[in-house]
Chains A and B, each alone.
Chain A
Amino acid sequence: MNHLLKALLFLMISTLVTLSVEAQQVRFDQANELLEQNQAGEALELYRSIEAGGQYSGELFYNMGIAAIHQDSLGLAKYYFLRSSGYSVIRNDAEEALRYVNNQFSRRSATLPALPWERFFLWLDGLFGPDGLLTFGMILFNTGIAGVIASWFYPRFGRLLFRGGQSVIILSLLLAATSFYLHYLDNRFDRGVLTDRQATVYEQPSTESALISTAYEGYVMKVDRHRSEPEESWYYIRLENGMYGWINREHLLTF
Chain B
Amino acid sequence: MFLLVISLFAWAASPVLAQEVNLNATVSENHVFIGEQFSLTIEISGESLRNVELPVLPELTGIRILSSTPSRGQSISIVNGRTSTATTYRYTLIAQQEGSYRIPPITVVIDGEEHQTSPIQVEVLRPGTMQQDSTDRMPDIFTEIQLDVENPVVGQQLVASLVIYFREGIEITSYQPSPGWRTDGFWKEQLENIEQPRAETEIVGSVRYRKATLLRYALFPSRSGTLTLSPFELHVSIRSEPRRNDPFGSIFGGFGTNQQRVTVHSEEMDVTVSRINPPQSGVSIGAVGNFQINRSISDTRITVGESVELTTTIEGEGNLPLISKPEYTFPESFELYQPQEETNLNRRGTTISGSNTYREVFIPRTAGTYTIPESLIGIYNPPLHGYDFRVLPAITVTVEQNPDEQFARTSDNFVLQPVSGLALWEEAQTGWLAEKPWVWLGFLLPLLALLIGYRKKRFVERLQSDSDFARAHLAREKADSILEKTKQEIPNAPVKQTYHFLHKAVTGFITDRLSLPAAGLSDREVLQQVESRSCPEDLQRDLKRFLDKCASISYAPVESEEDLFADLNRAETLLNKLDSHL
Interface, chain A (partner B; CB < 8 A): 21, 24-25, 28-29, 32, 35-36, 54-60, 62-63, 66-67, 69, 87, 89-90, 93, 96-97, 99-100, 103-108, 130-131, 134-135, 138, 141-142, 145-146, 148-149, 152-153, 176, 179-180, 183
A57 to B409, CA, bound (A): 27
Could you pull out 23 A-B pairs where Cβ atoms are within 8 angstroms?
Answer: A32-B419, A54-B428, A55-B425, A55-B427, A55-B428, A57-B423, A58-B423, A66-B418, A69-B414, A69-B416, A87-B424, A100-B407, A100-B409, A104-B366, A106-B335, A130-B432, A131-B432, A134-B433, A134-B439, A141-B443, A142-B445, A152-B457, A180-B434
A66 to B415, CA, bound (A): 10
When A and B form their complex, what is the total count of cross-chain residue pairs whose Cβ atoms lie within 8 Å? Answer: 112
Known: A100-B416, A131-B432, A183-B432. A25 touches B365 (CB 8 A): no
B419 lies within 8 A of A90 (CB): yes
Inter-chain contacts of B447 with A (CB < 8 A): 145
Inter-chain contacts of B432 with A (CB < 8 A): 130-131, 134, 183
- When each residue 380-410 of chain B gets 1 if its CB lies under 8 Å from chain A and 0 otherwise, what string results? 0000000000000000000000000001110
| Nearest residue, chain A, Cβ from B408 | A103
B428 lies within 8 A of A56 (CB): yes
A96 to B419, CA, bound (A): 14
A104-B366, A183-B434 given. 14 additional CB < 8 A pairs?
A21-B425, A24-B425, A32-B418, A55-B427, A63-B418, A66-B417, A69-B416, A99-B407, A107-B335, A130-B432, A135-B433, A142-B446, A145-B446, A148-B450
Select which of B414, B424, B434, B445 is within 8 A of A89 by beta carbon.
Answer: B424
| Cβ of B336 under 8 Å from chain A | yes
Select which of B332, B418, B427, B456 is within 8 A of A36 by beta carbon.
Answer: B418
- Shortest Cβ distance from residue A44 to the other chain B in the assembled complex, whole angstroms: 11
Known: A145-B449, A148-B450. A153 touches B457 (CB 8 A): yes
A198 to B92, CA, bound (A): 80
| Nearest residue, chain B, Cβ from A133 | B433
Inter-chain contacts of A55 with B (CB < 8 A): 425-428
A62 to B450, CA, bound (A): 50
Inter-chain contacts of B333 with A (CB < 8 A): 104, 106
| Cβ of B420 under 8 Å from chain A | yes
A149 lies within 8 A of B449 (CB): yes
Known: A100-B409, A145-B446. A29 touches B420 (CB 8 A): yes
A104 to B411, CA, bound (A): 9
| Cβ of B254 under 8 Å from chain A | no
B423 lies within 8 A of A106 (CB): no
Inter-chain contacts of B334 with A (CB < 8 A): 106
Inter-chain contacts of A142 with B (CB < 8 A): 442, 445-446
- Shortest Cβ distance from residue A97 to the other chain B in the assembled complex, whole angstroms: 6
A104 lies within 8 A of B424 (CB): no
A67 to B418, CA, bound (A): 8
A21 to B416, CA, bound (A): 26
- Shortest Cβ distance from residue B108 to the other chain A in the assembled complex, whole angstroms: 69
Inter-chain contacts of A146 with B (CB < 8 A): 446, 449
Most chain A Cβ neighbours within 10 Å, of B335, B418, B427: B418
A66 to B427, CA, bound (A): 22
A25 lies within 8 A of B433 (CB): no
Known: A99-B407, A183-B434. A145 touches B422 (CB 8 A): no
Most chain A Cβ neighbours within 10 Å, of B366, B428, B447: B428
A153 to B408, CA, bound (A): 68
- Shortest Cβ distance from residue B465 to the other chain A in the assembled complex, whole angstroms: 14
Select which of B335, B416, B439, B449 is within 8 A of A138 by beta carbon.
Answer: B439
B423 lies within 8 A of A25 (CB): yes
B425 lies within 8 A of A56 (CB): yes
A59 lies within 8 A of B449 (CB): no
A152 lies within 8 A of B454 (CB): yes
- Shortest Cβ distance from residue A59 to the other chain B in the assembled complex, whole angstroms: 4
A145 to B454, CA, bound (A): 11
- When each residue 152-183 of chain B gets 1 if its CB lies under 8 Å from chain A and 0 otherwise, what string results? 00000000000000000000000000000000
Inter-chain contacts of A183 with B (CB < 8 A): 432, 434
Known: A60-B423, A106-B333, A138-B442. A96 touches B418 (CB 8 A): no
B457 lies within 8 A of A57 (CB): no
| Nearest residue, chain B, Cβ from A145 | B446
Inter-chain contacts of B278 with A (CB < 8 A): none
Known: A25-B423, A57-B423. A149 touches B418 (CB 8 A): no
Select which of A32, A96, A141, A148 is within 8 A of B420 by beta carbon.
Answer: A32
Inter-chain contacts of B460 with A (CB < 8 A): 153
A57 lies within 8 A of B450 (CB): no
Most chain B Cβ neighbours within 10 Å, of A54, A149, A180: A149
A106 to B456, CA, bound (A): 73
- Shortest Cβ distance from residue B451 to the other chain A in the assembled complex, whole angstroms: 10
Select which of A57, A131, A180 is within 8 A of B426 by beta carbon.
Answer: A57
A66 lies within 8 A of B416 (CB): yes
A97 to B332, CA, bound (A): 20
| Interface set, chain B 500-516, CB cutoff 8 A to A | none
Inter-chain contacts of B426 with A (CB < 8 A): 55-57
A54 to B427, CA, bound (A): 6
| Cβ of B453 under 8 Å from chain A | yes
A25 lies within 8 A of B425 (CB): yes
Inter-chain contacts of A104 with B (CB < 8 A): 333, 365-366
- Shortest Cβ distance from residue B424 to the other chain A in the assembled complex, whole angstroms: 6
A231 to B130, CA, bound (A): 80
Inter-chain contacts of A21 with B (CB < 8 A): 425
Inter-chain contacts of B442 with A (CB < 8 A): 138, 141-142
A96 to B434, CA, bound (A): 36
| Nearest residue, chain B, Cβ from A81 | B416
Most chain A Cβ neighbours within 10 Å, of B332, B423, B454, B460: B423
Inter-chain contacts of B457 with A (CB < 8 A): 152-153
Known: A57-B426, A145-B450. A131 touches B419 (CB 8 A): no
Select which of A24, A63, A134, A135 is within 8 A of B419 by beta carbon.
Answer: A63
| Nearest residue, chain A, Cβ from B450 | A145
Known: A25-B425, A87-B424, A142-B442. A103 touches B418 (CB 8 A): no
Known: A131-B432, A141-B443. A107 touches B419 (CB 8 A): no
- Shortest Cβ distance from residue A60 to the other chain B in the assembled complex, whole angstroms: 6
Most chain A Cβ neighbours within 10 Å, of B408, B442, B456: B442
| Nearest residue, chain A, Cβ from B440 | A138
A131 to B457, CA, bound (A): 35
B336 lies within 8 A of A107 (CB): yes
B427 lies within 8 A of A57 (CB): no
Inter-chain contacts of A138 with B (CB < 8 A): 439, 442-443
- Shortest Cβ distance from residue A186 to the other chain B in the assembled complex, whole angstroms: 8
A62 lies within 8 A of B419 (CB): yes
Known: A100-B409, A106-B336. A28 touches B433 (CB 8 A): no
The 6 closest A-B pairs by CB, nearest first: A145-B446, A149-B453, A59-B423, A152-B457, A57-B423, A131-B433
Inter-chain contacts of A35 with B (CB < 8 A): 418
A21 to B424, CA, bound (A): 10
Inter-chain contacts of B416 with A (CB < 8 A): 66, 69, 97, 100
